[in-house]
Structure 1
Amino acid sequence: MTVDVILPCLNEASAVPWMLERMPAGFRPIVVDNGSADGSDEIARSLGATVVAEPIRGFGAAAHAGLLAATSDLVCFCDCDGSLDPQQLPLITGPLLAGQADLVLGRRAPVRRDAWPLPARLANWELARRVRHRTGLSIRDLGPMRAAGRQALLSLNLADRRFGYPLEMVMNAAAAGWRVSEVEVAYLPRVGKSKVTGTVRGCVRTVRDMSKVLAR
């Protein structure tokens, strides 16, 4: 079974080769370039990945463009910055293939303290707490490595095109009665400087976008 792996990408030229060489057999990378200026798209294309251009900036815009481009029945999402090892993707798809879940999230376990900056970790903890309170789900992380059925995801009618996209996916899945589960995955120090969790501005923007989703 082939599984499409959606990799939203913005200036990740230094991480792309490692990500693609770690892709397990049967997992097909779709790199969604969100306006990179460092040649990330050309590097990915030269290494055999399918490359999709999404000119509208925003994590959700890139992630959804990848979902629309995917053709496999089962799809995964994964950050393209080297913080998550593609070799762990079978851990995420396992519960789906076994019929035990409809959406599986990778619960991040940092391998080093600096892999997950404290402000970002606290923001994630608070958002997960609010999701548990709103939905009754027992999740502890809104992890970026996740898997679900492609057609089922399209049926959720996800509308956010910024950093609220991952949260909206979980909230809409819960509202639809999906079985949502977590699998622990190792969380590594990312390659290069983070555009989100590595900056105060990025953390604030992410929390703001996700708070808007919760408010809806």
Structure 2
Amino acid sequence: MTYTRVIIPAFNEEGSIAKVIHDIPSHISEVIVVDNQSTDETFKQAESAGATVLYEGKMGYGHACLKGLSYLKELREPTDIVVFLDGDYSDYPEEMDKIMAPIIQDDIDLVIGARVKSKREPGSMTFPQIFGNWLATTLMRLFFDSRFTDLGPFRAIKYKKLLALNMEDKTYGWTVEMQLKALKQKLTYTEVDINYRNRIGESKVSGTVKGSVMAGVKILGWIFKYSFK
């Protein structure tokens, strides 16, 4: 039996979080929502939908993900695979089995859900997101001979491999840090094309100029940091 746990960082996602949880395949061992200082009913909605809900008082996507990992380390039950998923309903949680399949069937370490243009709903990714993904993955290809085409947050990774990455980013750089460290540690990886739709509610990163700039700076910072190591 494969024990899979899902970590969902969430900030003010009361309109979407229950939908996300309900669409996750029923065989998943546990769904963990990390409420990152929400001022709405995110915590209550997630709890009512059946998730384990944690509270992280320090703002930042990475802070929320690290809170989820701290929780996993305290469990007595095993964890084989960790899936990361956003709480805004832009991804299709029912595609989770497709993302995990390369790990279960082919022993791949890390799988990224790639938001390819042909499967994206019009308007679901902003220009800064599209350009940022292109720039980051192009630099990763040039510097590390990477085959990544996306920094998509919907992803699955073997739990033991994730622990070995010693993740540390507290904010916008979590996804690219994981991919860069996977390249450095020579983990096996692949991408799976996934569907992507317009999120429910406003994006806290790509929906603001400040968020887009800060995310871009953090992502490029990680890439150049590892380029000269």
For the aligned pair, the TM-score class normalised by the smaller chain equals over 0.9
- Contact map agreement 1:67 1:150 (CA 8 A) in 2: no
* Residue of structure 2 equivalent to 1:105: 112
Give the match's secondary structure for 2:9: strand
Instruction: Output one character per residue of 1:118-170: Cα deviation in whole Å (capped at 9) or x when no partner.
Output: 22111111111111112212111011011111121111111111111111101
* Structure 1 length-normalised TM: 0.96
> Percent same amino acid at aligned positions?
33
Q: CA offsets per residue over residues 56-88 of structure 1, 9 Å max, x none? A: 111111112112223521110011101001101
Of Structure 1 and Structure 2, which has the larger fraction of its residues in strand? 1
Which residue matches 2:4?
Answer: 3
Aligned length in residues? 216
Q: Secondary structure at the match of 1:65?
A: helix
Shift, 1:39, TM fit: 1.6
- Which residue of structure 1 aligns with residue 145 of structure 2? 136
Provide the aligned C-alpha RMSD in A.
Answer: 1.2
Aligned to 1:12: 13
Per the TM alignment, residue 100 of structure 1 is displaced from its structure 2 partner at its CA by 4.1
Matched, 1:95 2:102: yes
Amino acid at match of 2:43: D
How far does residue 210 in structure 1 lie from its aligned partner after superposition? 1.0
Matches within 5 A, 1:163-178: 163-178=172-187
Segments of structure 1 that go 5 or more residues without pairing to the other structure are none
Q: What is the CA–CA distance in structure 2 between the aligned matches of 1:108 and 1:171, rounded to whole Å?
A: 19
Contact 1:13 1:43 in 2 (8 A): yes
| Structure 2 alignment gaps of length 5 or more | 73-77
SS at 1:8's partner residue? Answer: strand
Residue matched to 1:40: 42
Shift in Å, 1:111: 3.0
Alignment partner of 1:121 out of 110, 120, 130: 130
Q: Secondary structure at the match of 2:198?
A: coil
| Structural mapping, 1:37-76, within 5 Å | 37-70=39-72, 71-76=78-83
How far apart, CA to CA, are the structure 2 residues paired with 1:174 and 1:30? 27
Following the alignment from structure 1 to structure 2, what is the Cα–Cα distance between the partners of residues 91 and 119? 28
Match in the other structure for 2:89: 82
TM-score normalised per structure 2: 0.91
Report the equivalent of 2:75: none
Match of 2:129, SS state, is helix
